[in-house]
Amino acid sequence: MKPEVSIEGLVYRYRGQQKPALDGVDLEVAEGEFVVVMGPSGAGKSTLCVSLNGLIPHFFRGKMEGEVRVGGRSTREGRVGEFAQEVGLVFQDFEAQLFSTNVALEVAFGPENFAVEREEMVRRVESVLGQVRLEGFENRTPATLSGGQKQRLAIASVLAIEPRILCLDEPTTDLDPIGKLGIFEIAEDLKDRDDVTLIVVEHETEETLDADRIIVLREGQIVTDRPAREVLRDVELLQESSVMPLQVTRFFHEMGLWQGQLPLTPEEGVVEFRRRGWRMSPERHKALVEADAKREEGYGEPVIEVEGLTHRYPNGVVALEGVDLSVRRGEFLAVLGQNGSGKTTLVKHFNGLLKPTEGTVLVGGEDTTKQGLRQLGQTVGYVFQNPDHQIFSDTVFDEVAFGPKIRDMDEGEIKERVEEALAAVSLDGRGDEDPFGLTKGERQRVAVASVLAVRPEVLILDEPTTGLDYAEQRSMMDLVRRLNEAGSTIIAVTHTMWVVAEYAHRAVVFRGGKVALQGTVREVFAQEDDLREASLRPPHIVSFGNALGYPVLSVEEMLKVTEEA
Amino acid sequence: MDPSLYLDRDTFVHRLDPRTKMFLLLGMFALPFVFLDPLYELGVLALVLFFGYLARSLANLGRIWFILLAILVITTILWSIVGSGRTPLFLFVEREALLYGFSTALRIIITVIAGMIFLSTTRNEEVAIGLVRLGIPYRFAFAVSTALRLVPTIVTTGLTIGQAQRSRGLDLDSGNIIQRIRNHLPLLVPVFVTTVRSTNVFSMALESKGFGAGSRRTFFLHTAMGRRDVLVIVAFAALLAGCIALRLAGYGGLEGFTR
């Protein structure tokens, strides 16, 4: 059979870059296959995507060697527009690729370009909106959709061109769990169709189980290209490639099982665990719970106290309703819930960006309405999700010095604080660099440092791990943990469940503007059914532990409590 | 919050062909400049508000009333001081200057409201189709409608960035003029960087959806000049001509105003 996509010796170097983004890639994808591409940031995954429809070499300026053939035709030979009919490309940034005033027009844009007749367009719009489960949304403005719906719309707008190959570049990175699920369901449906070839770049290992093949890219080269379940069992290879291995698989790997025997899912794991006659030691588990309790005793007095907080936006939407919450000094609190559940609205009350409609918020014992934003900023530092929304200086040093400077500190003090903050985020000695030349992970660190330089007691982090690869996520969260151990109170708003499990102490779950669950992370994650109602799902290792009797939060804890027969 | 002005309603005005709406917009820009007498200007204002009422688009006034009020107050005061007339009113302000200022303010307000009604009743895509039907190349028409779309996008980005910078202690309103402009730097740079970045993704997405793939293109939105459009255009043209005739006949002017 002739391959749908065939890539031979592809080398691509962006203009002005020393290192090639892709460095000798050979790849064939057959019709109807579902291929997942994984690998660390900067490995060339996105470059591979844009080389499929001719954006490389036609849109980007750079040097291309080798050959990319789609349906037998070299991408050098035609314009992007011509290949668009065969390869549909969906980008990670769904906000930037939607531009129409309603959903139907957005979907119709592609067919319009190919001069599809109106009746056929109407049929396609209806059909693809059904495929992405957006029926009835035809007249909605894209701006009013949730993140998950927007990304589904972006997929629909490409499907309407009826391409034979669909390539999704990290489609779920910016989505909440329920949004992610929606995308995976679409992928599932498409996978069952023989006439659509699916190529997906994905970070979430738990979601790649259904793929036919997994390709791991590293520094522009393919390091592995094998059936999905084989790659997923290769724990060491994944770790070396900054890809998070499946937790249950890693557990059995650490227990010394031979690679071919490794279970992948919690269900498979439970079967294997029981078959071997292993058990979870109640005593050792009790020690974990006691350690939780002991940590809790170490907290100081409350630094943030929320009482009966209700927030109504000017358009009448009630985002929070009767919330009571207290955060003590030294805590590490995770705020969970799907988008629109009120998480961000809540934390914006802590630094004074929002004022309560009803109820009170005390920070450091004083009402936030009586403190200015700048004074509150002294106690509560807020790191926004996208570092590019705050970086504006020419050098890293100036960026971090912004907070201290506007608080009129003297030169010596500023220098000391900037150096201290840069050291805390492991960017010491890089003060002279241009922040825009850094990687996303490093820019994230600059953003954290710029908040740390003010020495706030409480640090709010909004989605601190979004858009980072596994290794970067780990190093970011290890940094946050060090800050916490050094005395900072941490409040993290996040969708990344394993991060909550391994790093946070306490969790509060929001649903429809109200607190649905709160307690230690262990207590909260033990209640899987309640979590599911809030559209959340604990990580594999937690489900695995729950199924075997006790909630554990990490592979390390599971190893600790397991007794071999 | 949806930063775009368009209101998806099914009214007589919404259903007009985009070309008709463009004609009305231009006409509404011209009409207030025919007269100088504030009384006549108030008549034109009433007309434009009536249109807004028909289009059920006056709700958007709530979003721009502050700007309108500022225009009214500042323009009236400025012309009262700068201009001169022959009937002293109080201090050094003359009646004619005050009336002229009021008229000028109304002229600006009318054009702003007319623009608002146009954007409230016309989709970006309709603007593009309208231009194409007038013989303008699609690429250019698309660029115009994209520019219209970019404004609300930049406003939203700006709001987010404003929050991020205020959280860091940024105070926009302190110091002298130069200082204040410099205060905005932390807003402008990220807005610029973010916009350029997303524009880049936007243009890749356009190419990937076959923008400009072939010379022919179809449109999903159905537009056609109907009898209603012709009627509206003729009626409005007659009104405009009538007003000009009225003015030439000596009505609606303002006697005794000098700069």
Between A348 and B82, the higher pLDDT residue: A348
Residue B193 clears pLDDT 70, i.e. is over it: yes
* Minimal CA separation from A158 to chain B, in Å: 7
Q: Which residues of B touch A390 (CB under 8 A)?
A: 161, 164-165, 168, 186, 190
Q: pLDDT of B38-86, one tens digit each? A: 999 999 999 999 999 999 999 999 888 999 999 999 999 998 888 888 8
Taking a C-beta distance cutoff of 8 angstroms, is the pair B221, A105 a contact? yes
Q: What is the mean pLDDT of residues A344-349?
A: 94
Axis-axis angle for helices B95-121, B18-30 (nearest 10): 170
Whether residues B218 and A382 touch (CB distance < 8 A) is answered with no
Q: Among partner residues A97, A108, A315, which is closest to B205 by beta-carbon distance?
A: A97
Whether residues B198 and A96 touch (CB distance < 8 A) is answered with yes
Q: pLDDT of A262-307, one tens digit each? A: 999 999 999 999 999 999 999 999 999 999 999 999 999 999 999 9
Q: Give the span between the Cα atoms of B130 and B121, in whole angstroms.
A: 13
Q: pLDDT of B112-133, one tens digit each? A: 999 999 999 999 999 999 999 9
> Most A CBs within 10 Å: which of B187, B208, B215, as the mutation test of the A interface?
B208
The token duo for A101 is 């005033």
Give the per-residue pLDDT at A181: 83
Q: Among partner residues A115, A315, A406, which is closest to B218 by beta-carbon distance?
A: A115
CATH class of residue range A291-534:
alpha beta
Whether residues A377 and B160 touch (CB distance < 8 A) is answered with no
Q: What is the mean pLDDT of residues B164-171?
A: 84
Q: Which residues of A touch B158 (CB under 8 A)?
A: none
Among A125, A57, A53, A118, CA closest to A90:
A53
Q: Is A498 helix (H, G, I), strand (E, B) or coil?
A: helix
Neighbours of A142 (CB within 10 A): 23
Q: What is the mean pLDDT of residues A205-213?
A: 89
Neighbours of A228 (CB within 10 A): 19
Q: Among partner residues A101, A121, A388, which is closest to B125 by beta-carbon distance?
A: A101
Taking a C-beta distance cutoff of 8 angstroms, is the pair A467, A431 a contact? no
* Minimal CA separation from A384 to chain B, in Å: 6
Q: pLDDT of A138-147, one tens digit each? A: 999 888 888 8
Q: Please tell me the least confidently modeled range out of A311-320, A554-563, B248-257.
A: B248-257
Q: Give the span between the Cα atoms of A520 and A333, in whole angstroms.
A: 9
Q: What is the mean pLDDT of residues A97-117?
A: 93
Give the per-residue pLDDT at A338: 85
Residue B3 clears pLDDT 80, i.e. is over it: no
Q: Among partner residues A315, A389, A403, which is closest to B164 by beta-carbon distance?
A: A389
Q: Is A479 helix (H, G, I), strand (E, B) or coil?
A: helix
Closest-CA residue of B relative to A161 is B209
φ and ψ of B222, to 5 deg: -95, 120
A vs B, Cβ pairs < 8 A, gives 173
Q: How far apart, in Å, do the first and last CA atoms of chain B sit?
A: 45
Q: Among partner residues B171, B190, B221, which is closest to A391 by beta-carbon distance?
A: B190
Can you say how many angstroms the Cα of residue A498 is from the centroid of all Cα atoms in its chain? 11
Q: Give the span between the Cα atoms of B18 and A100, in whole angstroms.
A: 16
Closest-CA residue of A relative to B8 is A139
Q: Among partner residues A100, A117, A436, which is closest to B125 by beta-carbon distance?
A: A100
The token duo for A53 is 């429809």
Give the per-residue pLDDT at B27: 94
Neighbours of A87 (CB within 10 A): 27
**Which residues does A189 contact at the CB level (< 8 Å), separation at least 6?**
A131
* Minimal CA separation from A96 to chain B, in Å: 5
Give the per-residue pLDDT at A1: 61
Fold category of A5-239 in CATH: Rossmann fold (3.40.50)
Q: Please tell me the least confidently modeled range out of A361-370, A505-514, B13-22, B169-178.
A: B169-178
Q: What is the mean pLDDT of residues B88-99?
A: 84
> What DSSP character marks residue A434?
-
Q: Give the span between the Cα atoms of A353 and A381, in whole angstroms.
A: 12
Among A541, A538, A540, A537, CA closest to A558:
A541
Closest-CA residue of B relative to A393 is B186
Closest-CA residue of B relative to A400 is B168
User: What does the DSSP assignment read for chain B?
Assistant: -----------HHHHS-HHHHHHHHHHHHHGGGT---HHHHHHHHHHHHHHHHHTT-GGGHHHHHHHHHHHHHHHHHHHHHH-B-SSEEETTEEHHHHHHHHHHHHHHHHHHHHHHHHHHH--HHHHHHHHHHTT--HHHHHHHHHHHHHHHHHHHHHHHHHHHHHHTT--TT-SSHHHHHHHTHHHHHHHHHHHHHHHHHHHHHHHHTTTTSSS----SS-----HHHHHHHHHHHHHHHHHHHHHHTT-S--TT-B-
Q: Which residues of A touch B143 (CB under 8 A)?
A: none
Residue B1 clears pLDDT 70, i.e. is over it: no
Among B186, B181, B154, CA closest to B167:
B186
Give the per-residue pLDDT at A521: 96
pLDDT band at A194 (very low <50, low <70, confident <90, very high): confident
* Minimal CA separation from A518 to chain B, in Å: 27
Q: pLDDT of A515-560, one tens digit each? A: 999 999 999 999 999 998 888 889 999 999 999 989 999 999 999 9
Q: Give the span between the Cα atoms of A358 and A371, in whole angstroms.
A: 17
Q: What is the mean pLDDT of residues A427-435?
A: 90
> What DSSP character marks residue A506?
E
> Most A CBs within 10 Å: which of B167, B185, B188, B206, as the mutation test of the A interface?
B167
Beta-ladder partners of A562 = A280
Whether residues B163 and A113 touch (CB distance < 8 A) is answered with no
Beta-ladder partners of A197 = A165
Q: Is A200 helix (H, G, I), strand (E, B) or coil?
A: strand
Residue A444 clears pLDDT 60, i.e. is over it: yes
Name the pairing type of β-strands A458-462 and A380-383.
parallel
Q: Is A163 helix (H, G, I), strand (E, B) or coil?
A: coil
Residue A27 clears pLDDT 80, i.e. is over it: yes
Q: Give the span between the Cα atoms of A22 and A42, in whole angstroms.
A: 10
Q: Give the span between the Cα atoms of A403 and A408, in whole angstroms.
A: 9
Whether residues A59 and B189 touch (CB distance < 8 A) is answered with no
Q: Give the span between the Cα atoms of A51 and A47, in whole angstroms.
A: 6
Taking a C-beta distance cutoff of 8 angstroms, is the pair A208, A36 a contact? yes
> Most B CBs within 10 Å: which of A105, A390, A443, as the mutation test of the B interface?
A390
Q: Which residue ranges make up each domain of chain A?
A: 5-239, 291-534
Q: Which residues of A touch B124 (CB under 8 A)?
A: 100-101
Whether residues A373 and B222 touch (CB distance < 8 A) is answered with no
> What DSSP character marks residue A15?
T
Q: H-helix or E-strand containing A38?
A: strand A34-38
Look at chain B and count its residues. Answer: 259
User: Rounded to 5 degrees, what angle do the CA atoms A168, A174, A178 make?
Assistant: 90
> Exposed, middle or buried: residue A178 (CB in 10 Å: 0-12, 13-18, 19+)?
middle
Q: What is the mean pLDDT of residues B216-236?
A: 92
Q: pLDDT of A46-86, one tens digit each? A: 999 999 999 989 999 899 999 999 989 999 998 888 899 99
Q: Among partner residues A114, A144, A154, which is closest to B210 by beta-carbon distance?
A: A114
Q: What is the mean pLDDT of residues A191-199?
A: 88
Whether residues A84 and B125 touch (CB distance < 8 A) is answered with no
Q: Which residues of A touch B3 (CB under 8 A)?
A: 143
φ and ψ of B204, to 5 deg: -65, -40
> Most A CBs within 10 Å: which of B151, B209, B219, as the mutation test of the A interface?
B209
- pLDDT cut 70: percent of chain B above it: 98
Closest-CA residue of A relative to B219 is A112
Q: pLDDT of A239-264, one tens digit each? A: 999 999 999 999 999 999 999 889 99
Q: What is the mean pLDDT of residues B145-162?
A: 87
Whether residues B218 and A117 touch (CB distance < 8 A) is answered with yes
Q: Among partner residues A81, A125, A392, which is closest to B190 by beta-carbon distance?
A: A392
Q: How far apart, in Å, do the first and last CA atoms of chain A sit?
A: 51
Whether residues B207 and A81 touch (CB distance < 8 A) is answered with yes
Give the per-residue pLDDT at B43: 94
Domains A5-239 and A291-534 share a fold: yes
Closest-CA residue of B relative to A380 is B167
Neighbours of A269 (CB within 10 A): 26
Can you say how many angstroms the Cα of residue B251 is from the centroid of all Cα atoms in its chain? 28
User: Token pair 């998480």 is at which residue?
Assistant: A343
Give the per-residue pLDDT at A480: 93
Closest-CA residue of A relative to B183 is A406
Q: What is the mean pLDDT of residues B123-152?
A: 90
Cα A340 to Cα A284, A337, A518, A529: the distances in Å are: 39, 8, 18, 20
Whether residues B4 and A104 touch (CB distance < 8 A) is answered with no
Q: Which residues of B touch A368 (CB under 8 A)?
A: none
Q: Which residues of B touch A373 (CB under 8 A)?
A: 166-167, 169
> Most B CBs within 10 Å: which of A97, A129, A407, as the mutation test of the B interface?
A97
Whether residues A114 and B123 touch (CB distance < 8 A) is answered with no
Q: Which residues of A touch B203 (CB under 8 A)?
A: 59
User: Token pair 């549909």 is at which residue?
Assistant: A88
Among A214, A288, A280, A212, CA closest to A245:
A214
Closest-CA residue of B relative to A122 is B220
Give the per-residue pLDDT at B2: 62
Q: Which residues of A touch B209 (CB under 8 A)?
A: 84, 109-110, 113, 157-158, 161
| pTM (global) more than 0.95 | no
Q: Among partner residues B149, B169, B185, which is closest to A406 by beta-carbon distance?
A: B169
Give the per-residue pLDDT at A247: 96
Among A57, A54, A46, A58, CA closest to A21:
A46
**Which residues does A323 contact at the CB level (< 8 Å), separation at least 6?**
A306, A308, A309, A310, A342, A346, A359, A513, A514, A515
